Structure 1
């Protein structure tokens, strides 16, 4: 079942509607619908949509839609960068985000990176866009490779010093990029091939130094432009470079903006966790119910199309090895699907690679919703890949939170379609990432185990839950940061922290960071939660409390909270205050603190009502009567807690 290609998608179903909204003055009011309108847009359509969206006043959008996530992005660099803003605007809008941009003056990157009171230091993402002229504008004439090497070394040394200052006091992430592959217009100025080869070495060594900066500073990300240019994107447009000092081509700026969109999506907690695949026409060629197991197209040694499907499976397997959950949803009978997954010689993926395989004749959006419930995930954490335009459209309509990746009848293009949007990008892999598939498979076993009991209490007693609350150390930094960035349902304040910000809290004597570890009869779940606190006078403040959706409703959250309260009282605190900030995704924990003895207060200590509008509420526990942890949980005390 081949899906419609992008060129076949009716234009009036996408960004052209934005033009209608713009002309009618309704674009601000309808901003939450923009994400859907941009779904499946071509590059040309995105460029036009960016021009429209860049005209919006972010403050007007926020006033109309306070729940829309806002990302502040400051842009600086060497050349003219105003053409980047429309691309950034539309790429963030594609992910349901709103851009609040700041554009620095021309060639002001050194000043901007050196100014701790400037906009770059306050932004969520600070972009320092580098182009070839950052080096060649300083190269004399005549020049040789040694001149380029000298200037490049000076520029890298300057950047290294500025980054150290930025890392100390900035609040967000600094994004650098490698210098794009050297256009021929520079290398061709050297007439001997030996000098050209030396110039290539110099250029690549400069980029290697840039890439290593990300290893030295946790607040720094370096985007490698080589893969973007390697897809055929031109580095520069000579007339724009000469006449407007725009030294990167519009196409390269658009590709760069797409990568920034991936970073922004991750920073706002909208990373994806599960890849759900159709089977017929997607994972293999042909229709299993008609062609039979021997008639489907898949296998490295088969036809060209069979090999393409096999190559796609290898890429899917690579993602799964890094913590992406795999599931399959197919309109098929379950028996032949199981037969293929278990024994077909051309398959790379096997049944054990999937946390769940759903094969039936029900609507796919219903199967996706039930799969999300079974995995205790939101549907907005799913990426769904299908070759049917009908199924893709239906899932988009019924489950707008699902990210849909349509593939067509050409399997050689499946890989590009899947990887285009970096759905599963993350700053750093953790131990929990590598074991995530096994952990979710264990979770499904737990659910089956639950079905064998008449009561939840008996199930929990037999589950033998263990909770360990420990002072976090350097080894937990990456995982705790990941939890703040990925967890949405049990996340009391949705405070997003990068690794550098977590590390800063570990070094802050007034702050306390606790890692929640859990295990049960089915295995060790690792670090599943975190509690961030600080003490002010005789009051302990819980700045955030979060728990992985995998371990809800087992008493882990109550046990950890009880331990924090006991520790506070044992160390002389008068009260514990905790914040809750309502979002559309964390409503299930809105009464967590009141259910555990906290009373709502405001700054003037009056009672307040709950509102689901992003308001931050503060609750207080007087520590007179402490809640009792669930009896079925075996708890390991916090070091230093005498339990008094």
Structure 2
């Protein structure tokens, strides 16, 4: 079903419509009449799912308009204007799935008050910063409103942003290329909210992660750091990549080199920022890089649509782009001094919020490597599972876990029973309606904590109980966690008086692993995609798991 967007702006925004359709194909976009932002916020068309609000500060806040005319304005007046706008957004958000709001900036071309621009009550810059921060604070508890940083877009956009003729002829304040960048920002936010942002960077080594060809100069001769501008640029690029791992992005290597030589360079070169433990996986060999990327994605249990490939070699980029169209392969600068900026301009990693699991994801994959090494040396799969001392902690939906639960709901595709998408408000409302329950499952073992990796929801209706959602991160597939989750759900259903438990599978193009589990689960398939369990019998649980539940 097509997702429906509605654009509210205090200028003519019709140029945004075709650009947004280009970046979000299959959508439906409506543009409200020019200059009717406040009126539009009071309207609630039932067909709209995402509202995009793009207003300029001089037209939205009367106090700022006065300030721009060099009239003194106290902070209280500015705050009152912001609070009124925030209240209108808050009310509109009650009727929308998502509201995206472009933040305010100083009117383009306006110098402001020069050296007094940061003075309270006088400066335009001070007023813009205060207004944006106040708006963010006022909307902090509204889970479906998100601010887009207009100032960052303006700073990173090098081409002309405005054309006075466009404004006077048609009330169009921006150039077409700038509208294109705004459309990309909206699309990036939507991908982040829907769980389709990119999560894995596969990067080359020679002349990408470091300067020089390892096979020619040896690790001692690589350009990294020092007093060489190319070496400094590569070090800064590595720092930027490492910073991304702290927001949940995984790193992997695909390089045509001898593995032992490359790993030696990574570990021994004193200027390397990234070390072996920063990479979840690597394929360092002389094989086709497209095939290596497929193997890397499989090793970390991610689809190719989660992958970004960075390589200085245009032929390698073209090969991967052609062979693996789901992989995002950005054009890459020829000059290494531009690498860091090129990385910073990518919009494909945006997330609506950063969970604790996101922050720890890179470390989790290092721990996973240790598990796999142990598994290779174990006598059997069951011996391995018993040896890693797995523990499962279960908790209902609460303020501490809701961000991660919403994230799993909206980005998990392979091990997902219903592939239902929901935000925090929708989940809280669903749980509060009737005899319904939601539990999050956190998994840990002797190697570390893999975080909240599973969700089950249960709807008890008299003597029948439906497992509505069954969601599990692929990172714990193959460890019998799914059996434990199902067993807990069915036991809870029996405790609440149900006699029959059932689960209805909703097939998609990507959730075949969920179906495979249902078919081997022991539940009976009495009709297609409907699986049942007689609750008079307890569902068997793996005996090597320690399971505990929070109140």
TM-score for both structures, normalised by structure 1: 0.78
Residue 118 of structure 1, aligned match among 45, 57, 63 = 45
Q: 1:366 to 1:163 in 2, by over 3 A?
A: same
Matches within 5 A, 1:11-90: 70-90=2-22
The total of aligned residue pairs comes to 549
Query: For the structure 1 residues 547 and 142, does the alpha-carbon distance in structure 2 shift closer, same or farther, using more than 3 Å as the test?
Result: closer
**Cα offset for 1:398?**
2.2
Which runs of at least 4 in structure 1 moved beyond 6 Å after TM superposition? 147-151, 191-196
Which residue number corresponds to residue 283 of structure 2? 358
Q: Deviations over 1:90-128 (max 9, x none)?
A: 2224xxxx322122233333233223x424xx5442101
Q: For 1:504-519, what aligned pairs fall within 5 Å after superposition?
A: 504-505=429-430, 507-508=432-433, 510-519=435-444
The CA deviation at 1:366 is 1.8
Distance 1:188 1:322, change over 3 A: closer
Q: How far apart, in 2, do the equivalents of 1:410 and 1:136 lie?
A: 44
1:413 aligns with 2:338: yes
Match of 2:246 in 1: 321
Query: Where does structure 2 lack aligned partners over 5 or more consecutive residues?
Result: none
Q: Provide closer, same or farther for how the CA distance between residues 529 and 123 of structure 1 changes in structure 2, counting only shifts above 3 A.
A: farther
| Residue in structure 1 matching 2:256, options 331, 344, 356 | 331
Deviations 1:193-232 (A, max 9, x none): 9999523322332222233344232111111111111123
- Classify the secondary structure of the residue corresponding to 1:405: coil
Q: 1:132 to 1:635 in 2, by over 3 A?
A: closer
Alignment pair present for 1:345 and 2:256: no
Asked if structure 2 preserves the Cα contact closer than 8 Å seen for 1:374 and 1:444, the reply is no
**How far apart in 2 are the matches of 1:513 and 1:81?**
42
- Name whichever of 395-404 and 231-240 sits farther off: 231-240
- Alignment partner for residue 394 of structure 2, among 457, 465, 469? 469
* Conserved? CA contact 1:145–1:195, under 8 Å: no
State which of 159, 166, 174 in structure 2 corresponds to 1:240. 166
Which whole-Å deviations, capped at 9, do the CAs of 1:247-270 have from their partners, x for residues lacking one? 333333221111111112123331
Query: 1:386 and 1:210, CA in 2 relative to 1: closer, same or farther beyond 3 A?
Result: same
Look up the match of 1:581.
506
Show the counterpart of 2:385.
460
Question: 1: CA distance between counterparts of 2:327 and 2:244?
Answer: 18
- What corresponds to 1:182 in structure 2? 107
C-alpha distance after superposition, 1:587-644 (max 9, x if no partner): 121243343344557xxxxx33xxxxxxxx55443424443122332323575xxxxx
Between the aligned partners of 1:372 and 1:140, the Cα distance in structure 2 is: 56
Please provide the CA RMSD for this pair. 3.0
Aligned equivalent of 1:302, options 200, 203, 227: 227
2:198 pairs with one of 272, 280, 298: 272
Once the two structures are TM-superposed, the CA of residue 183 in structure 1 deviates from its matched residue by: 2.5
| Closer, same or farther: CA 75–270 of 1 in aligned 2, 3 Å | same
CA pair 418-569 structure 1, distance change in 2 beyond 3 A:
same
Mark the CA change 1:258 to 1:193 in structure 2 (over 3 Å): closer, same or farther: closer
* 1:427-438 mapped onto 2 (5 Å cutoff): 427-438=352-363
Cα deviation for residue 178 of structure 1 reads 1.3
Offset at residue 479 of structure 1 (A): 0.9
1:193–1:568 CA distance, 2 compared to 1 (3 A): closer
Structure 1 residues 281-290 or 590-599, which shifts more?
590-599
TM-score (norm 2): 0.91
- Structure 1 residue aligned with 2:30, among 85, 102, 109? 102
Q: Distance in 2 between matches of 1:108 and 1:192?
A: 30
Task: Determine whether 1:281 maps to 2:207.
Answer: yes
Q: Residue 415 of structure 2 contacts residue 513 of structure 2 at CA under 8 Å; is this kept in 1?
A: yes
1:635 aligns with 547
C-alpha deviation, 1:378, in angstroms: 2.0
Deviation, 1:510, is: 4.0
2:421 counterpart of 1:484: no
Secondary structure of the structure 2 residue equivalent to 1:265: helix
CA contact (8 A) 1:333 1:360 kept: yes
For structure 1, which segment, 251-260 or 104-113, has the greater mean C-alpha deviation from structure 2 after superposition? 104-113
- Describe the superposition over 1:497-538 as per-residue Cα deviations: whole angstroms up to 9, x where unpaired: 333434444555643110111122322222111112333444
Q: Among residues 149, 152, 158, which one is paired with 1:227 in the alignment?
A: 152
Secondary structure at the residue paired with 1:406? coil
Indicate if the aligned counterparts of 1:135 and 1:148 stay in contact, CA closer than 8 A: no
> Which SS does the other structure have where 2:173 is aligned?
coil
Q: Do 1:282 and 1:407's aligned partners in 2 also have CA atoms closer than 8 Å?
A: no
Aligned match of 1:292: 218
> Structure 1 residues 184 and 333 mapped into 2: Cα distance closer, same or farther (>3 Å)?
same
Q: Secondary structure at the match of 1:474?
A: coil
> How far apart are the structure 2 equivalents of 1:333 and 1:210?
54
Paired residues for 1:171-210 under 5 Å:
171-185=96-110, 187=112, 198-210=123-135
SS at match of 1:102: strand
- Cα offset, 1:135, TM superposition: 3.6
Structure 1 window deviating more from structure 2 (441-450 vs 412-421): it is 412-421
Q: Decide whether aligned partners of structure 1 residues 194 and 490 sit closer, same or farther in structure 2, where only a CA change above 3 A counts.
A: closer
